[in-house]
């Protein structure tokens, strides 16, 4: 093992020992106000970082590269805000481990809360997405936040309080065609959040899901290069053409999502879920629709069928069921 690896191993051992003893040093600022925000350099993560820093929270933010970390620090400085920034590529488990060591150096008692936001959206039909890329989607959107949670839970449990906020999506409640693997990752994040919420409830730790619809974020622009090479000529070209138009839509700024995250942190008893954004009120209805009707609505939304055609098909199906 390298010298750097030895140092990381010793540090991890040290803070694990601290956890088991409940022996902590004063943390960065107010321990109850220290929040880790992952994926903080753009979109929802950036909005959350600014909102929390402006509201008096001591923010530890993550950036994927040193360049992005410096850009984030400069942006916050221009706004009169401060945060500590740790570089971490959540695709690499070794970087997550090293980042957690740095985070516990900044806040020896551990952050009181974490906002798991880092992730990406993988577009494409189930047929077009390779297993390798699908694994990357699940790794970054599901396994990485789970690893962060595992690292923070001992200190939260020893403290007797903590808050875990996982940024899910509308697509984590209603599967979205041509974003099937992204939906799968968010469904999985919802599942582990629901399980975790019950598992840690006796320790004073709250687990919250934030479920945004479409908001301005580089996550969508970054997904364009991931579309298949034959996206505009292959069998799914109509859907991909529609998807490109949707990605290029001017989405609203994610400020409402950031405010909801703050509310979830400040609430004495937060909700299990906070849907936010256009269309999210329809989630309970969409989840109880017959699959055939939901499929038809998805086809309309993707421009694969016309509403008039769908209406005629629905009437014919209704007549057949009536005999």
Angle between helices 144-159 and 180-199 (to 10 degrees): 20
Using alpha carbons, select from 90, 24, 87, 28 the residue that is nearest to residue 53. Answer: 28
What is the rounded end-to-end Cα distance, in angstroms, of the chain?
A: 73
Neighbours of 218 (CB within 10 A): 13
Q: How far is it, in rounded angstroms, from Cα 154 to Cα 284?
A: 35
Residue 37: strand pairing partners: 61, 115
Cβ count near 233 (within 10 Å): 10
Yes or no: say if 113 and 164 are a contact pair by the CB < 8 Å rule: yes
Q: Which of 182, 236, 240, 274 is catalytic?
A: 182
Structure tokens at 128: 């077009």
Nearest CA-CA partner of 18 in 111, 152, 155:
155
The whole-angstrom separation of Cα 63 and Cα 71 is 10
Does residue 24 carry a catalytic annotation?
Answer: no
Cα angle 72-166-172, degrees, rounded to a multiple of 5: 115
Non-local (6+) Cβ contacts of 204 within 8 A are 159, 160, 161, 162
Q: Which of 25, 49, 187 is nearest to 106 (CA)?
A: 25
Instruction: Provide DSSP, 239-282.
Output: HHHHHHHHHTS-PPPSHHHHHHHHHHHH-SS--SEEEESTTGGG
Active site residues: 182
């Amino acid at each position: 093992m390298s010298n750097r690896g030895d140092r990381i191993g010793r540090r991890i051992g040290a803070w694990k020992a601290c956890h088991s003893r409940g022996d902590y040093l004063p943390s960065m600022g107010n321990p109850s106000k220290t929040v880790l925000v992952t994926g903080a350099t753009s979109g929802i993560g950036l909005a959350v970082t600014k909102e929390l820093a402006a509201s008096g929270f001591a923010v530890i933010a993550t950036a994927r590269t040193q360049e992005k970390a410096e850009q984030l620090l400069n942006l916050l400085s221009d706004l009169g805000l401060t945060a500590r920034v740790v570089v971490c590529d959540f695709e690499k488990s070794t970087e997550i481990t090293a980042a957690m060591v740095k985070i516990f150096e900044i806040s020896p008692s551990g952050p009181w809360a974490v906002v798991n936001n880092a992730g990406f959206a993988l577009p494409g039909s189930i047929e077009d997405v390779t297993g390798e890329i699908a694994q990357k989607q699940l790794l970054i959107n599901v396994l990485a936040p789970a690893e962060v949670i595992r690292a923070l839970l001992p200190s939260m449990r020893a403290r007797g309080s903590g808050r875990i906020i996982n940024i899910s999506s509308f697509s984590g409640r209603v599967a979205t065609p041509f974003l099937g693997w992204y939906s799968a990752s968010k469904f999985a994040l919802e599942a582990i959040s629901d399980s975790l919420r019950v598992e840690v409830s006796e320790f004073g730790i709250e687990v919250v899901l934030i479920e945004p619809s479409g908001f301005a974020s580089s996550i969508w622009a970054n997904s364009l290069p991931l579309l298949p090479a034959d996206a505009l000529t292959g069998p799914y070209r109509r859907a991909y053409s529609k998807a490109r138009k949707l990605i290029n839509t001017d989405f609203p700024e994610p400020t409402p999502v950031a405010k909801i995250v703050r509310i979830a942190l400040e609430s004495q008893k937060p909700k299990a879920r906070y849907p936010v954004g256009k269309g999210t009120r329809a989630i309970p209805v969409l989840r109880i629709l017959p699959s055939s009707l939901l499929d038809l609505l998805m086809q309309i939304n993707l421009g694969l069928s016309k509403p008039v055609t769908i209406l005629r098909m629905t009437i014919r199906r209704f007549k057949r069921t009536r005999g």
